[in-house]
Amino acid sequence: MTAVAPDSAWQLHPQVSVRPEPFGALLYHFGTRKLSFLKDRTLLAVVRGLPDAASARDACEAAGVAEEHLPRYLGALGTLAESRMLVERSR
């Protein structure tokens, strides 16, 4: 798992749909037909906040992620990026 750089900006891939669930959410990529489970509501809040945040760090902070948990969330975002659920964007 590769963590995303905290100061990089990200968003959901345009072909990814998010379906909220009681446990978190399902992400479905219509291009690759991959399904990902977000089993953490805070991670869902981070993912939803990415388009409006200047950076991954800012999205995490806005979702209430404490500094000591930041590496874990950046790692989760890295996993989503590796599976092409997230794409890097220019600021």
R_g of the chain computed on alpha carbons? 12
CA 67 – CA 76 distance, rounded (Å): 15
| Residue-level pLDDT at 3 | 84
9: part of which helix (H) or strand (E)? Answer: strand 9-12
| Residue-level pLDDT at 59 | 98
CA 91 – CA 72 distance, rounded (Å): 23
**8 Å CB contact between 59 and 43:** no
- Count Cβ atoms within 10 A of the Cβ of residue 56 and give its class: 0-12 exposed, 13-18 middle, 19 or more buried: buried
Domains of the chain and CATH, by start:
9-85 (3.90.930)
CA 69 – CA 4 distance, rounded (Å): 14
Kindly give the confidence (pLDDT) of every residue in the chain, 91 residues in length, as a single tens digit, with 9 standing for 90 and above: 678 999 999 999 999 999 999 989 999 999 999 999 999 999 999 999 999 999 999 999 999 999 999 999 999 999 999 999 999 998 6
CA 44 – CA 32 distance, rounded (Å): 21
| Residue-level pLDDT at 1 | 64
